[in-house]
Structure 1
Amino acid sequence: MKIYVGIDIAKPNHFAAAISQGGEIILEPFKFTNDADGFQLQVSKLESFDKNSIIIGPPSTAHYGDNLVRYLVAEFYQVCVLNPIKTCQMRKNNIRKTKTDKVDTYVIAKTLMMQDDLRFIGFYDLDMMDLILRPWGVFVRKP
């Protein structure tokens, strides 16, 4: 059984919730801070599940989720960064037009669940992100 974890990314705090592939709520939304302690809290909530059955999907939100993605990849979780346009479309299709961090976690998890092909972030992707952030660091030629 696959477990889809939707994470609503924000600057100071994130919210996460998990659903099964049948849409059953596995973890109610919970808040965690955007730092090592918060990341540890999130992982502790997921420890009771088989790591190979968990797919974590934060939407791409500039740089606010980068450290979390790095942490989860280093912990060998399957992480798929979602296009925020897809989660926005899913939210518009939602019957309830509420917009809260807790509701968004379910919308993000459902968006993740409905993807046909998932592209997981790996260490290579993290290295490429580093090069994008610091493009001159490695390739600067001395005159």
Structure 2
Amino acid sequence: MIYVGIDIAKPNHFASAISSDGEELIKPFKFTNDNDGFQLLISKLDPLDKDSLTIGLESTAHYGDNLVRYLVAKNYKVCVLNPIKTSTMRMNNIRKTKTDKVDPYIICKTLMMQESLRFVTFYDLDLMDLKALGRFRQETIKQRTRLKIQLTSYVDEIFPELQYFFKSGLHQKSVYALLCI
């Protein structure tokens, strides 16, 4: 088996690869979080046997999503790790350092120590999209509610009689059109 660890960050990522024997196959290198950087990563992975590769990265908000999508689309086995697992491995490291060049190695070691790995599938990617869309919808509804409350308070201060002219309340297209004049 060959383990590839990728340390995710906003502008750049660091990656390295080790064999199951602990031999360093790819020294830690930096690549950008864009298509050019992803192609650099693939060019470094190409000489290795794709079927024996396992790629791991920590779950880090949305910063690694594009890379995960890219790798899954290229049929790589990708595993997103809980940062708590890698943190535990980091604590066991003698130097207890957290640097961009050490972290990919820690992620590789964490992959090696797992009894079973769960790989990201296209279904998981679709589920991530749905969750993001659901969260966006909830936030948008909360924001709309806050704005309606704010508008009502302004109208109550400036033109309190307005609410008596409309049986359906202030929040309808005709009232909004009237207020925009």
Which category describes the TM-score, using the shorter chain as reference length? over 0.9
Q: Distance in 2 between matches of 1:82 and 1:52?
A: 20
> With CA pairs under 8 Å and 6+ residues apart, which has the higher RCO, 1 or 2?
1
Matches within 5 A, 1:1-143: 2-135=1-134
Q: CA deviation at 1:135?
A: 2.3
Post-superposition Cα deviations, 1:32-70, rounded to whole Å, max 9, x if no partner, equal 000000001001100011111000001100100000000
**Alpha-carbon deviations, 1:49-96, whole Å to 9, x = none?**
111100000110010000000000000000000010000000000001
Runs of 4 or more, structure 1, over 6 Å off, are none
How far apart in 2 are the matches of 1:114 and 1:65?
22
Q: Distance in 1 between matches of 2:104 and 2:117?
A: 18
Aligned amino acid, residue 51 of structure 1: K
**2:107 alignment partner, SS class:** helix
Q: 2:60, 2:7 → 1: CA distance?
A: 9
TM-score, normalised with respect to structure 1: 0.93
Gaps of 5+ in 1: 138-143
Q: Please report the RMSD computed on the Cα atoms of aligned residues, expressed in angstroms.
A: 1.2
The CA distance in 2 between the partners of 1:82 and 1:10, in whole Å, is 15
Distance 1:126 1:34 in 2: 18
Cα deviation, residue 132, structure 1: 0.5
State the TM-score, normalizing by the size of structure 2. 0.73
**Secondary structure at the residue paired with 2:81?**
coil
AA of the residue aligned to 2:69: R
Alpha-carbon distance, 1:136 to partner: 7.9
Give the letter aligned to residue 55 of structure 2. I
Distance 1:97 1:128, change over 3 A: same
Deviation at 1:98, TM superposition (A): 1.9
Structure 2 Cα separation of the partners of residues 92 and 100 of structure 1: 13
Name the larger-Rg structure.
Answer: 2
Q: CA deviation at 1:97?
A: 2.1
Residues in 2 aligned to 1:118 and 1:136: alpha-carbon distance in whole angstroms: 27
Q: 2:11 is matched by which residue type in structure 1?
A: P
Distance 2:52 2:124 in 1: 21
